[in-house]
Amino acid sequence: MIFIEVALDLPLNTLFDYQCDEATPDDIGRRVKVPFGRDEKVGVILNVKDHSTLPLDKIKKATTLWRDVPPLSEEILRLLHFTSHYYQHPLGPVVLHALPPALKKTNDWQAPKKRSKAINVAVTSAPQLNLEQRHACDEINQHDDEFRIWLLQGITGSGKTEVYLELVRQTLGRGKQVLILVPEINLTPLIEQRFQARFPATGMVSLHSGVGEKERAQRWIDVASGKIQIVLGTRLAIFAPLDHLGLIIIDEEHDSSYKQAEGMRYHARDLAIMRGQYNAIPVVLGSATPSLESWWNAKQGRYQLIKLTERAHQGATLPDIQLIKANLKHDSPTLSLEIIHAIEERLTKGQQSLIFINRRGFAPVLMCNQCQWLATCPDCQTRLVVHRRQQRLRCHHCNYQRPIDHHCRQCHSEDLTTLGEGTQKIEESLQELWPKARILRIDSDSLQSKSWATQIQDIHAGEVDILVGTQILIKGHDFPKLTLVAAINVDSALYSSDFRASERLFTQLLQAAGRAGRGSDKGQVLIETAFPQHPLFEALIDHDYQRFADNELEERRLFGFPPFCYQALLRGSATELSPLQQFMREAREALKRLSYEDITLFDVVAPTLHKIGNKYRLQLLLQCHSRPLLQQALSQWSDYLFTHAPHSVNWVIDVDPIDC
Ligand code: ADP
Ligand code: ZN
Ligand code: ZN
């Protein structure tokens, strides 16, 4: 008798034995249909063996062993084992995650009758690379058969994509395949066209959640069958079954969308590095504003730094960045005169303006208008968050709280303001100011990926005068008519309770600035702030990423934040609060009992969004200076959690959290 060990998509830390006499070791990685309870499930074979430790009458027979689709390769399985181990996520769901949804259904796979049509794009030839680009390509190519991590830090518009294209060309020339990751779905159509235009005869697919289910599965099969040389995709493409990888590129490597924010919380960039290592190939991380983690790795010599310091397009220069003094007192959402004049000027010239509103989930903080004192937690020095309804200040780190102060604790003034509220009506006031202007508002809420492609076309065609939006608008686009970027409501990030807020703000502002003046008209960037002397802005007006990053790293070092420590977060959620509270408390006690003295264990707190839908949420942060120690503790701890968590509570361990 032959038995198979099967991975199933269940939140349990086990594999399941079935009998399957036709199975051979070659079937490892293949899909099977198996009975489960009264149901059937699709699983993946991870082992084939001639005995089982279970009693025979407990072992059921597999229903179908599918051999019509290529199995998950050894390399992918290795990556999945690593992912499961590193992110403390059960192996079953991790393995199933690597399959496209249509291949996880219990019916037989049927190839789509009609394939989605490839867009016809005019073939383009490569421009003559400039010296910096040439140098970057040569450096990387000299080490094309080694595992090395290259951090390509190139200012916006410096021609990073041209560097990627050249590296891809050379990799294809060696008969190898390429995997390119981009942050978001809305970026893929344009970059896809750019690659297609350059490599018209090469098999290429894009993989992201916007592709229809059948089509996506078929593309996945094409990749697994070796028909595809270039895979372009979002974070989920990190598991693309390429067997002859020669190069991995992560564009905009700082982007937070590489981190999956629910379920299995993996970071595609970090997994890319593992794949690079397994295959002994270069991994190129590109960004104008690398994440501080990557920057620190480059400074330490773990990554190789290559810089592109000039804009590549003939005649294009970096825009001037000017700060505009915002009036703190007025809570009324009005645009400052400078911005109004600047927009007016663009409207007359037929150019485009972009208003960037920074308003992603920043919690409001309390500040003194006289001495700029900020209410901070006496225990952990992070900003206290204003909770208006309860009239309290709360630390989201350790749960310290007190009533909202009425006097400044430094100068006793009563002149206190809450930063981070207001200004949301900007969009409406724009329309009042210029009733005839064509205003396009775009943010992640209003955005549907399908219409985005058309909206981009509209912007290119000059059918939009003013763009208003959040981060989504500033990612990697190249709008030649756009010459003005104005950023408002940015200050709350400077004093946020989240230690990553200033990194995000700097990145966003520099990326936003990078949208202006990419054609031959010079760009202008206006930033409204009450704190023009803040070091972040001093670095920003000089377009000096490095100065900012080095300063910020010093601060992180001082406070012992990542990358100078490693963090993990236990996130729990439940429809009722009290079992959740009890579970979190017990989890904390359990970790304490493991007595890892070097691990700092914070209190159980509610995250900024403490209730989503009908679910309460609580979290527990731990940090440690040693990654292996933290990993060891986490795996012991998660064994406990798996056996002790009540059914009413959902929990997940978020390793290297980026929002806590
Ligand atoms: P990035 O990816 O760094 O933002 P891109 O690769 O998109 O930059 O290049 C910015 C612009 O400069 C594009 O319009 C591109 O066609 C152009 N460009 C890039 N490299 C060159 C070059 N060597 N010569 C001329 N134009 C170039
Ligand atoms: Zn004061
Ligand atoms: Zn605190």
Write out the residues surrounding ion ligand 3, Cβ under 5 A.
377, 379-380, 395, 397-398, 400
Please state, in angstroms and rounded to a whole number, the distance separating the CA atoms of residues 635 and 633: 6
Q: For the sheet containing 148-154, what is the strand order?
A: 204-207, 230-233, 177-181, 245-250, 282-287, 148-154, 304-308
Please name the residue whose Cα sits nearest to atom 12 of ligand 1: 313
Choose the residue to mutate in 155, 162, 191, 520 for probing ligand 1, maximizing ligand atoms within 8 Å of C-beta: 162
User: What element of type H or E holds 246?
Assistant: strand 245-250
312 lines ligand 1 (CB under 6 A): yes
Beta carbon of 517 within 6 Å of any ligand 1 atom: no
Instruction: Give 191-237 as a DSSP string.
Output: HHHHHHHH-TTS-EEEE-TTS-HHHHHHHHHHHHTT--SEEEESGGG
130 lines ligand 1 (CB under 6 A): yes
Query: CATH 3.40.50.300: which residues of the chain?
Result: 131-308, 320-362+421-551
Q: Which residues contact 660 (CB under 8 A, 6 or more apart)?
A: 498, 567, 569, 607, 619, 621, 654
pLDDT band (50, 70, 90) for residue 424: very low
Q: Report which of 157, 173, 163 is spatially closest to residue 284, judged by C-alpha positions.
A: 163
What percent of the chain is predicted at pLDDT more than 90? 64
Q: What is the DSSP letter of 363?
A: P
Residue 275: pLDDT above 60?
A: yes
For residues 512 and 528, is the Cβ–Cβ distance under 8 A?
Answer: no
Q: What is the pLDDT of residues 347-392, one digit of tens each?
A: 999 999 998 876 654 567 888 888 888 898 887 667 888 887 788 8
610 has a pLDDT exceeding 80: no
- Residue with token string 């190249």: 478
Q: Quote the ligand 3 centre to 274 CA distance (angstroms).
A: 36
25-29, 86-90, 251-255, 323-327, range with the lowest pLDDT: 323-327
- Closest residue by Cα to residue 33 from 22, 18, 46: 18
566-655 maps to CATH 1.20.1050.10: no
Residue 278 tokens, joined: 């397994």
Tell me, using a 6 A CB cutoff, whether residue 161 lines ligand 1: yes
* Residue recorded with tokens 């804009």: 311
Residue 362 pLDDT: 52
- The verdict on the CB of residue 470 being under 6 Å from ligand 1 is no
Q: At what angle do helices 545-559 and 292-299 cross, to 10 degrees?
A: 90
Pick the CATH number of 3-104 from 3.30.1280.10, 3.40.1440.60, 3.40.50.720, 2.40.30.10: 3.40.1440.60
pLDDT band at 444 (very low <50, low <70, confident <90, very high): low
More confident residue, 521 or 523: 523
Which pLDDT value is given to residue 5?
97
Structural contact between residues 317 and 517, judged by C-beta atoms closer than 8 angstroms: yes
Instruction: Give 96: exposed, middle or buried? Use CB within 10 Å, 0-12, 13-18, 19+.
Output: buried
CATH 3.30.70.600 segments of the chain: 566-655
Q: Cα(348)–Cα(616) distance, rounded to whole angstroms?
A: 51
Q: What is the mean pLDDT of residues 408-416?
A: 91
How many angstroms does the Cα of residue 555 sit away from the middle of ligand 3?
Answer: 18
Residue 288 Cα: closest atom of ligand 1: 3
pLDDT band at 333 (very low <50, low <70, confident <90, very high): low
Q: What is the pLDDT of residue 432?
A: 85
Q: Please give the backbone phi and psi of residue 8, each rounded to the nearest 5 degrees, phi first.
A: -125, 155
Task: Give the C-alpha separation, 92 to 367, whole Å.
Answer: 49
Right CATH for 131-308 from 3.40.50.300, 3.40.605.10, 3.30.420.10, 3.40.50.1370: 3.40.50.300
Asked whether the whole model's pTM tops 0.75, one would answer yes
Asked if 346 contacts 484 with a C-beta cutoff of 8 angstroms, the reply is yes
| Complete edge-to-edge strand list for the sheet that includes strand 365-368 | 401-403, 392-394, 385-387, 365-368, 416-419
**Residue 243's pLDDT is what?**
96
How far is Cα of residue 113 from the mean position of the Cα atoms in its chain? 34
Ligand 2 centroid to Cα of residue 561, in Å, is 27
CA 509 vs CA 205, 470, 513: distances in Å: 32, 11, 6
- Poorest-pLDDT segment among 89-93, 175-179, 518-522, 546-550: 518-522
- For domain 320-362+421-551, give the fold: Rossmann fold (3.40.50)
